[in-house]
Chain A
Amino acid sequence: MLRFSTWKFFAIVAMTLAAVLVVAPSMLSASHYEELKSRLPSWLVPPTIVLGLDLQGGSHVMLEVDQADLIATQIKNLRDDVRRILREEKVAISGGIGATARGVQVRVADPEDREKVLVKLRQLRNSFSSALMGGPSPLDVEASPDGVIRVTITDAGLRDKSRKAVEQSIEVIRRRVDALGTREPSIQRQGDDRVLVQVPGLQDPETLKEILGKTAKLEFRLVAEPGQNPSEVEELDQVDQEGKIAVEKQVMVKGEDLTDAQPGFDQQRSGEPVVNFRFNIRGAQSFGEVTSKNVGRLFAIVLDNKVISAPRILTPITGGSGQISGRFTVEQANNLAILLRAGALPAKLNIVEERTVGPGLGQDSIDAGKRAAYVGAGLVVVYMLVTYGVFGVFANLALFVHIAFIFAGLVLLGSTLTLPGIAGIVLTIGMAVDSNVLIYERIREENHAGRSILASLDAGFTRAFATIVDSNVTMFVAAAILYFLGSGPVRGFAVSLALGILTTIVTAVTMTRMMIAVWYHYARPTRLPI
């Protein structure tokens, strides 16, 4: 009981000091920490505890690829491909290209033509999706005896498109969120069709949703003139006016050809907020061409299938730059510029989960958590003192180290501290002393059974240890499962709980034992003080 190796002693002292050192930066006030940060080289800046979104305020937004929209887009593309093939092969069809639930169908009456088209259509598979070489086919091409050819997008093909859409979206979203200038946003894919965006410390969560929810597909098209072929014209909603406006289906220039977009003010006329943009060479050329040929006509600026404005082409615009006006507010112009710079999302994304906590509430939660932790720890400390006297002091010292270890663990793992996480810590404060209680009660019992003090101490530690391990393993398993299945705040709880369980073995067992051994060595008690 009395002997333990020196290295063990120093190991524990070193661990405690290390834990205190690791935790110390997190205890600094924000301004002190900033000062420290400015003085140290970046690789030396100590990490601090990462607070969860529920504590520091922020937004957690889960976006999901809109499957209906994705299918519609893919069918549209497929229809274009089929039309191109028919034109290239000079094949006549009876009726138009019809849409099915998951693809298109055409009727090719002539069997020879049909074969030609089928070969080409089967080749479409390869270009439709490059990632699926050798995998399940992304397209089903089948012909029925009555001359109808059906091209259907398979589940595998759709999943692949969805996955690609998510990948591209992450890039676009990153550019958009970065433009907000927030700290450390996290943008991750979740499964095949979701993106999780977490942005801490936002003052205005509305703006985030504003710029996440838009596809931002920008198109410049000509407004249709009376007498144009109706199949080449569609009616679109207008943003700031009632009623629809007929525009050509053909797109003059797409948003992809923008190189820059900045908010500004209309210099010549009203001084209203506008967005100034520049085209790349390809965009500038086609825009110049179309505007030269169509002076006097209206052209529509279409964003996400809504017409923002439809100004008249007064002179050919060949300089490769222009401006979009649409009775914007300053904020709207700002957001539109961000969206245009970041590019369009490849598919429509819906918000399927949102959890937003304002900064004020976050601070309130921190305060509440701190208060609960202080009161809880205080009560437990006092209770241990009045129950176990000097042994209570040892248990309390171990408890402080235990708490330092938990926080150090959180810092080192880079795990986030959430409000349920604080609850987990408070709970482990109650549980941590359980190990001490187990040991102390065992010591008392052995002593009552007539053993000497030293023998009781020894027996208490040895016998209680097996129980402590067994009982903590069960708790640890529960925490581990919570971690793997839980999300966000609940995960924070699982981490705190698991860390608390691990450290309790070191603090409650080894540390207490050491303290008691030292105490026994110097105090030479004649009776057990508990």
Chain B
Amino acid sequence: MDIVILGLPLYYYIAMVAKVLVAFVFVLLTVAYATYAERKIIGFMQVRIGPDRVGPKGLLQPIADGLKLFFKEEIIPAESNKFAFLLAPLIALIPAFITFAVIPFGETIKVFGYDVPLQIVGYYDNGIGKVVDINIGMLYVLAMSSLGVYGIVLAGWASNSKYSLLGGLRSSAQMISYELAAGLAIIPVFMLVESLSLQEIVRAQLGMKWFIWNSPMTFVAGIIFYIATLAETNRIPFDLPEAETELVSGYCTEYSSMKYAMFFMAEYANMVTVSALMVTMFLGGWDGPLVSSYPLLSPVYFIAKVYFLLFLAMWIRATLPRYRYDQLMALGWKVMLPLALGLIVATAVAGYFGFYTFSGLFCN
């Protein structure tokens, strides 16, 4: 009954294509409507109306924006390095999307009698006849996020403009600095879970034992990670690379039309991805009440948590002013990095004595 193609069963291919399509469309739609939601939410918070002209309540605004950008004239500066100039938006956009491949967005569900894990990447183990999670999920995420820097550095350099170059340099310095803090802040999670697989990390948090409140170390780590991801995605209060008053619009000053739109999309796709990561590592992933008896609820919980974090980022944008550049670097290197290193030591000590959870702290 099972059709096997190139050593893998047919259902594996079908499930893979379906998952890729669903996740990709989900991220794209979220990116499009995050721009609309952002304008609406910030408008509401600042007692404005926000976009309301295109379609009912302005709901077609993202489509109108997309069309406008699509039909705009494309300008390539004469003195630019054309190859790098054209490549940069692609390099910025691709890592933002492919990081999503390892994020588990739901419990394993049964479709026509087959177990389909709701996570794109996974290899089929012929020995046990199941799809298994790759055990370096988190390292893959770190690797891809470190590649996103290239898009911005190249855009800044290839434009051959002072504003772009300064914006690109600032942005890459900022991303590298905060990547360290983010990378170190997730180590306590690995120490508690003893695995790099994102599925395993979610399973360790099942039953509302989410890391954000389950252990003091991961609580602090979660906050550090969230702040670091805000900085990595160039969001207010860390949007120095695009500080309008100083740098016009930073590394994408010289970009127009669809290429500008790609940088814009990359920024929002990055937001979605890091929100999903934050959810997976600290907010229990797809865990929630009743998820063990109704596995189909799990994607709903996952999406709700991601949207909550996106809302939080917009809320922060409407609230906080921008950091000064030296303050930003001081915060990254002198506060968050030592704190994250200290957390690793604290987790190791606490783990040695066996009281790393809040409940363990109070019961022992």
Q: Do A and B bind each other?
A: no
Q: Taking beta carbons and an 8 Å cutoff, which residues of B are in contact with A?
A: none
Q: Taking beta carbons and an 8 Å cutoff, which residues of A are in contact with B?
A: none
